[in-house]
Amino acid sequence: MNYESFFQTKVDDLKREGRYRVFADLERCAGQFPRARRFRADGRIQDVTVWCSNDYLGMGQHPAVLAAMTEAIERCGAGAGGTRNISGTNHYHVVLERELADLHGKAAALVFTSGYVSNQATLSTLGRMLPNCVIFSDALNHNSMIEGIRHSGAEKHIFRHNDVAHLDELLGRADPTRPKIVAFESVYSMDGDIAPIGAICDVAERHGALTYLDEVHAVGMYGPRGGGIAERDRMMHRLTVIEGTLAKAFGVVGGYIAASAATIDFVRSFAPGFIFTSAMAPSVAAGAVASIRHLKGSGIERVRLHERAQRLKRVLGEAGLPVMASESHIVPVKVGDAHFCKHASDRLLDEHAIYVQPINYPTVPRGEERLRFTATPFHSDEHMAALAAAMTETWKALGLPLISTRHPAAAE
Ligand code: PLP
C-alpha cells in the first residue's frame, strides 16, 4: 500500500469539503484577555480579539490562579513524576479532589488528565464491568462519552436529544434486572441548550438506572458556587456521577468525576485511563484549586458572563445576523454551509482581526455549520460593536442573507 498517498487523499477530501482544520497560531496575552497575538503565515504579527475561547470566565489569567501555579512550581518543580500510583500523587492532587467533591456535594472525586479522558475512562470502565450493562446515551453527547461507551462493549441505545419520553420508552423496553446507565450533558456546547436534569433523573430512578452527567460547559458558570446546572437546579444529590473539566471556566487543564466514595474508589481501581498515565503537573492542580475556591466564593464573574452573553445575542440579532436560539452563555450564529463558514471565519480574522473558529461537520450535522461565539466578562461593549460591524461586512461580502430587523411600523 502507498501509505503516503492514502493519508494525503484523505486529507484532500477534507479540504474539498471545506472541513480541513487550520489552527490559528496564537499567543494569549496574560492580563489583556481577550487580546492575543497571531503569528501569520506571511511572517507578520497581528493583534486579534479572541471570540471563541472556552476560558469562559478568563480564569486562565486570574492573579490568584497564576500566583498559586507559580508558587507550586517553586515548591514542587515542573512535572508530577509518575502515575498517581507510582510516586505521582502530590498533595495538591489530594486537595483538588477534596475541593471538587465539596463543589458537587459528593463524598469523593477523582482527577484525570483531561475532561475527555475522564468521560472515556469512566464510561468505558462502568459499562465494561457492570455485568450485562446497557447504556442510554443522549443523541448529542460529546465524542468522549460516545468513545467511552463504544469502548465498554456494552449494549447502547440512543435517546432523542433531551427527549425524556423517548428515554422512558427505551428504558421501559430493557430487562428490568439489567444494570443501566443514562449518560447526558447539562449544557450542550454547540447549540447552547440545557438538559431537563430533574425529569431525566425521575425516569432513570423509576427504571433503576444510574445517572452520568457531563457538566463540562457549566461548571464554574452556573449554580451559587459554580457547581453547574445540577447545582442551580438543586439536583446534584440525584446524580450518580457528575463529570467536569478544569480546562474551561476554571481556566487550567484536566478533568474529573465526583460521586460516592465507593464509585470513585471503583473507577480509581479499575479504569486504565486513570491508572496507566502520569498525573497532572502539581502546578496545574494548584491553579485549579485556586480557581475553584475563588469561584465558589465569588459570583461576580458568573453574573457578568451571563449579562455579556445576553448583550451579545442582542447586538448580533439587532445587526440582522442569524443568531441561533440558545438558553445558555453560548452564542451560535448559523451559516449552514462548510465553505461559507470557513470563508467567513478567514475573512473575520484576516480583514477584521477577529478570531472565531468555524464549526463544521462532524462537530455539528451538515447544513448546521456555524460560528460559535463566547462572550466573556472581559468582552466590552466596544468589542461587541466592532464584532457586529465586522460580521455585517463579512455577511455582505460573502452574499450571506441578513435578517431584516426593522419592524414594519418603524418604516420611514
Ligand atoms: N465533554 C464535553 C461536552 C466537551 O465539550 C468537551 C470538550 O470540549 C469535553 C468533555 C472534554 O473536555 P476537555 O477539553 O477537558 O478534554
Q: Among 55, 122, 144, which is best to mutate for testing ligand 1, by the most ligand atoms less than 8 A from CB? A: 144
C-alpha cell at 306: 451571563
User: What confidence tens digit (pLDDT) does each residue in 326-370 have?
Assistant: 999 999 999 999 999 999 999 999 999 999 999 999 899 999 999
221 Cα: distance to centroid of ligand 1 (angstroms) = 15
DSSP strand pairing (180-185 vs 26-28): unpaired
Tell me, using a 6 A CB cutoff, whether residue 144 lines ligand 1.
yes
221 lines ligand 1 (CB under 6 A): no
Ligand 1 neighbourhood includes 53 CB (under 6 angstroms): no
Residue 148 sits at the vertex; the CA angle it makes with 143 and 152, to the nearest 5 degrees, is: 145
Residue 410 is predicted with a pLDDT of: 40
**Secondary structure letter of residue 276 according to DSSP:** T
Q: Give the residue, out of 56, 111, 116, with the most ligand 1 atoms within 8 A of its beta carbon, to mutate for a pocket test.
A: 116
Nearest-atom index, ligand 1, CA of 188: 3
Distance 366 CA to ligand 1 centre (A): 21
- Nine cell digits for residue 85: 500510583
Tell me if 118 CB under 6 Å of ligand 1. no
Ligand 1 probe mutation, 141, 215, 216, most atoms within 8 A of CB? 216
3-state class of 311 per DSSP? Answer: helix
Q: CB of 55 closer than 6 A to ligand 1?
A: no
For ligand 1, whether the C-beta of 223 sits within 6 Å is no
The CB-side HSE value for 189 (13 A sphere, CA atoms) comes to: 18
Looking at the CA of residue 54, tell me the nearest atom of ligand 1. 8
pLDDT tens-digit map of 371-380: 999 999 999 9
Q: Is 228 in the pocket of ligand 1 (CB under 6 A)?
A: no
The per-residue pLDDT for 19 is 86
Residue minimizing CA distance to atom 14 of ligand 1: 115
**89-92-94-96 Cα dihedral, nearest 10 degrees:** -130
Spell out the residues 6+ positions from residue 29 whose beta carbon is closer than 8 angstroms to its own.
35, 36, 37
Looking at residue 405, what is its pLDDT?
Answer: 65
Q: How far is the centre of ligand 1, averaged over its atoms, from the C-alpha of 119 (Å)? A: 9
C-alpha span between 357 and 344 (Å, rounded): 9
- pTM here? 0.96
| CA 116 to ligand 1 centroid distance, Å | 5
Q: Which residues are catalytic?
A: 248
Q: Is the CB of 60 under 6 A from ligand 1?
A: no
- Residue nearest to ligand 1 atom 12, measured at CA: 115
* CA 189 vs CA 56, 59, 158, 198, 351: distances in Å: 12, 19, 19, 20, 27
- Mutation test residue for ligand 1: of 55, 142, 161, the one with most atoms within 8 Å of CB: 142
Nearest to 386 by CA among 322, 336, 315: 315
pLDDT (0 to 100) of residue 411: 37
Asked if residue 148 lies in contact with residue 175, where contact means CB atoms within 8 angstroms, the answer is no
Between strands 45-50 and 354-355, the pairing is parallel
Contacts of 264 (CB under 8 A, 6+ apart): 107, 108, 109, 110, 257, 258
The DSSP element (H or E) to which 152 belongs, if any, is: helix 143-152
Cell representation of residue 266: 471503583
Instruction: Verify whether ligand 1 is closer than 6 Å to residue 374 (CB atom).
Output: no
Nearest to 92 by CA among 231, 259, 235, 290: 290
Alpha-carbon radius of gyration of the chain: 22
Show Cβ contacts of residue 322 under 8 Å, excluding neighbours closer than 6 positions. 333, 334, 401, 403
> Residue 192 Cα, ligand 1 centroid: separation in angstroms?
14
* Distance from the alpha carbon of residue 44 to the mean position of ligand 1, in angstroms: 32
141 in contact with ligand 1, CB cutoff 6 A: no
Residues of the chain with pLDDT under 50: 407-412
DSSP-assigned letters across all residues of 188-240: -TTT--B--HHHHHHHHHHTTEEEEEE-TTTTTTSSTTS--HHHHTT-GGG-S
